[in-house]
Amino acid sequence: MYISAIKDCENSLETALLNQCKDKSDPYYGGVINVSEHVYDYMYTPSLVTNAVLLFLNEKSIYYMKKELFESIDRAMIFSNRWLNPDGTMHLN
């Protein structure tokens, strides 16, 4: 079951990584788009970070200590920091 959970997280992360904004000139740089709604959803990016960090540190994951994943985590943190309000909520407009 443990390996199955890792694979599920990897599959979910793969989709999020494909939908992460990598254009540094875009104000949503680092954010993950909600494809079904075509918007940058404030919940998708923290979810990417959570899964990414867990997989980055897990020796059983294909993403274990991968530089590319660390760069995606960094992009997501830039996005989160840019849109985070002082009270901890996210503001995307």
pTM of the model: 0.86
pLDDT in tens, 13-38: 998 999 999 999 998 899 998 877 77
Map tokens 């999020």 to a residue: 16
- Which residues does the chain have with pLDDT short of 70? 92-93
Return the SS3 of 4. Answer: helix
For residue 16, give the nearest of 64, 59, 60, 53 by alpha carbon. Answer: 53
Residue 90 confidence (pLDDT) = 77
Residue 93 confidence (pLDDT) = 61
- What is the residue extent of each domain of the chain? 2-83
Residue 62 confidence (pLDDT) = 97
Distance CA 32, CA 65 (A): 21
Residue 60 confidence (pLDDT) = 96
